[in-house]
């Protein structure tokens, strides 16, 4: 049985300075009306102008090489920035996927021309990306995708199929699509899948928004009808799409967006409840903070592993699974603690934030891998299956 790895490393001076710089920037933005805090801000809080402001600050594409518009900084610096943005409830959804995973995939598998053309605008916060993995019959069972790409004699690809739930596709410039390029090898359906970097303005692509429980449209269905793609749209190696996709999941699952989504609500509630908590309330808040502290420590360890070139998929599954539970516990605990306070004494936006977050809560344990699937991954690492 392999153990879980979460290397520890104390923050250095540069990190501490960066954290206070980001905090002052966010305070200033809020004071100037640059944004209103939202829960779930990395999925439903798209604000391209705000993303461009972060790009100007040098806080997007932070770990990418400077020659492609990045800033050559360590993964822990990016973690500091993302933590502060999420804790403040800043509207980061527009650039989130490009900055978190699409840029890294292009860096690893893209052509030199793609890196030069696409990465600088992603780092500037002016070009966005979406994830094209799920299909109506392929979610947890991702190898069941039926979107197909076939190569013509002239080397171009023709794509047909349907992706669903792609967050931000309606405002994105690119989507990395997982498609079948050849038949499965008997029962091994992971064979014959490939990734494509698809410009979303290509003729034959139709994107339709899907309204969620909270009433907002942030994810989409995307149809591909005989979409003609150039030969270099194939990202990486033909047939290696499954492995490339799995490589993305450590970055997709391990970050602070898996445990800080409802943090803005906890913070506002604690301001209102200051001096009014009984012993049980204090213990409940202490428990939440202890969990959040552990998750931060684990997420920090994963950032270091990714920096070293490791792919800590199982550790990431653990962070997401535990983090989703803490996000739920925060909402339940805040609701219980606030019951002691007349609504007229709640801070202005707290009620609306709480309602909105409650409607979005069911999606936390679906997006990025369901609880059952993550527990299966963790169980395998423990040697239980
Ligand atoms: C807000 C949101 C944003 C999303 N954004 C994106 C995106 O940008 N791009 C993208 O490609 N997808 C996205 N998704 C889709 C997401 O990845 C899928 O919803 C998820 O993988 C689950 O797939 P499914 O919805 O088909 O559910 P299913 O796979 O049908 O699962 C339904 C239930 O059955 C359980 N189940 C399934 N298989 C097993 C098993 N083998 N063992 C035990 N239990 C099992 C699941 O745990 C779940 O409880 C998003 C989803 C949400 C909610």
| pLDDT at residue 298 is higher than 80 | yes
Per residue in 7-58, pLDDT tens? Answer: 988 899 999 999 999 999 999 999 999 999 999 999 999 999 999 999 999 9
Same domain, 373 and 259: yes
Contact 143 CB / ligand 1 (< 6 Å):
no
Q: Whose CA is nearest to atom 48 of ligand 1?
A: 370
Same domain, 213 and 291: no
Output the pLDDT for position 262: 96
Site to substitute for ligand 1 among 170, 366, 371, most atoms within 8 A of C-beta: 366
Q: How far is the CA of 26 from the centre of ligand 1 (A)?
A: 33
Q: Whose CA is nearest to atom 3 of ligand 1?
A: 367
Same domain, 84 and 46: yes
Q: How far is the CA of 42 from the centre of ligand 1 (A)?
A: 18
Same domain, 251 and 284: yes
Per residue in 107-165, pLDDT tens? Answer: 999 999 999 999 999 999 999 999 999 999 999 999 999 999 999 999 999 999 999 99
For residue 371, which atom of ligand 1 is closest to its CA? Answer: 47
| pLDDT at residue 185 is higher than 70 | yes
Enumerate residues 6+ apart whose C-beta is below 8 A from 28: 34
Is residue 4 included in any domain, yes or no?
Answer: no
Q: How far is the CA of 43 from the centre of ligand 1 (A)?
A: 16
Same domain, 168 and 255: no
Contact 216 CB / ligand 1 (< 6 Å):
no
Among residues 239, 268, 297, the one where a domain terminates is 239
Question: Exposed, middle or buried, 172 (CB in 10 Å: 0-12/13-18/19+)?
Answer: buried
Contact 217 CB / ligand 1 (< 6 Å):
no
Same domain, 211 and 322: no
Site to substitute for ligand 1 among 39, 134, 161, 217, most atoms within 8 A of C-beta: 134
The CATH number assigned to the domain holding 34 equals 1.10.540.10
Q: Whose CA is nearest to atom 27 of ligand 1?
A: 139
Is residue 257 within 8 Å of residue 186, measured between CB atoms?
Answer: no
Per residue in 322-364, pLDDT tens? Answer: 999 999 999 999 999 999 899 888 888 899 999 999 999 999 9
- What would the two tokens of residue 32 be? 């100037």
The domain of 55 spans 13-128
Contact 220 CB / ligand 1 (< 6 Å):
no
The CATH number assigned to the domain holding 201 equals 2.40.110.10
Q: How far is the CA of 249 from the centre of ligand 1 (A)?
A: 14
Output the pLDDT for position 1: 58
pLDDT band per the 50, 70, 90 thresholds, residue 2: low
Q: Taken in order 265, 299, 62, 44, is the CA torsion positive or negative?
A: negative
Is residue 6 included in any domain, yes or no?
Answer: no
For residue 67, count other CB atoms closer than 10 A to its CB: 11
| pLDDT at residue 283 is higher than 70 | yes
For residue 134, which atom of ligand 1 is closest to its CA? Answer: 11
Is residue 73 included in any domain, yes or no?
Answer: yes
For residue 167, which atom of ligand 1 is closest to its CA? Answer: 8
Q: How far is the CA of 154 from the centre of ligand 1 (A)?
A: 37
Q: What is the pTM of this model?
A: 0.96
Give the number of domains in the chain: 3
Among residues 73, 97, 128, the one where a domain terminates is 128
Is residue 1 included in any domain, yes or no?
Answer: no
Mean pLDDT of 73-83: 96
For residue 362, which atom of ligand 1 is closest to its CA? Answer: 53
Contact 210 CB / ligand 1 (< 6 Å):
no
| pLDDT at residue 202 is higher than 70 | yes
Distance CA 259, CA 371 (A): 14
The CATH number assigned to the domain holding 306 equals 1.20.140.10
| pLDDT at residue 245 is higher than 90 | yes
Among residues 239, 263, 279, the one where a domain terminates is 239
Is residue 5 included in any domain, yes or no?
Answer: no
CA angle 362, 365, 367 (to 5 degrees): 100
Contact 366 CB / ligand 1 (< 6 Å):
yes
Same domain, 141 and 116: no
Residue recorded with tokens 């410009």: 199
Residue 343 gets which letter from DSSP? G
Is residue 198 included in any domain, yes or no?
Answer: yes
| pLDDT at residue 87 is higher than 70 | yes
Per residue in 90-123, pLDDT tens? Answer: 999 999 999 999 999 999 999 999 999 999 999 9
DSSP string covering 280-308: HHHHHHHHHHHHHHHHHHHHHHHHHHHHT
Output the pLDDT for position 284: 97
Is residue 208 included in any domain, yes or no?
Answer: yes
Separate counts of helices (H) and strands (E) for the chain? 13, 8
């Amino acid at each position: 049985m392999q153990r879980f790895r979460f290397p520890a490393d104390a923050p250095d001076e540069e990190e501490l300075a960066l954290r206070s710089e980001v905090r002052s920037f966010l305070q200033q933005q809020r004071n100037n009306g640059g944004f209103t805090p939202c829960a779930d801000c990395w999925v439903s809080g798209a604000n391209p102008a705000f993303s461009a402001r972060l790009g100007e600050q040098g806080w997007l594409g932070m770990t990418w090489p400077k020659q492609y518009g990045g800033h050559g900084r360590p993964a822990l610096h990016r973690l500091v920035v993302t933590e502060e943005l999420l804790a403040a409830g800043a509207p980061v959804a527009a650039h989130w996927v490009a900055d978190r995973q699409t840029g890294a995939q292009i860096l690893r598998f893209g052509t030199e021309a793609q890196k030069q053309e696409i990465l600088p605008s992603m780092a500037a916060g002016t070009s966005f990306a979406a994830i094209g993995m799920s299909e109506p019959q392929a979610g947890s069972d991702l190898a069941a995708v039926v979107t197909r790409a076939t190569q013509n004699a002239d080397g171009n690809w023709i794509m047909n199929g349907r992706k669903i739930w792609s967050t931000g596709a309606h405002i994105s410039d690119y989507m990395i699509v997982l498609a079948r390029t050849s038949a499965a090898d008997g029962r091994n359906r992971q064979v014959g899948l490939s990734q494509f970097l698809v410009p979303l303005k290509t003729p034959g692509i139709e994107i339709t928004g899907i309204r969620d429980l909270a009433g907002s449209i942030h994810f989409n269905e995307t149809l591909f009808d005989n979409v003609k793609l150039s030969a270099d749209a194939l990202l990486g190696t033909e047939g290696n799409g499954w492995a490339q996709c799995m490589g993305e999941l450590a970055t997709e699952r391990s970050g602070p967006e898996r445990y800080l989504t409802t943090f803005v609500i906890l913070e506002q509630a604690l301001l209102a409840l200051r001096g009014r908590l009984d012993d049980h309330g204090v213990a409940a808040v202490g428990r939440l903070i202890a969990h959040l502290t552990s998750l931060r420590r684990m997420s920090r360890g994963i950032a270091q592993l990714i920096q070293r070139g490791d792919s800590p998929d199982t550790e990431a599954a653990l962070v997401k699974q535990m983090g989703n539970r803490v996000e739920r516990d925060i909402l339940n605990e805040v609701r219980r603690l606030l019951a002691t306070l007349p609504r007229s004494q709640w801070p202005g936006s707290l009620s609306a934030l709480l309602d909105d977050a409650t409607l979005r809560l069911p999606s936390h344990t679906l997006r990025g891998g369901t609880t059952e699937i993550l527990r299966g991954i963790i169980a395998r690492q423990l040697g239980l299956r």
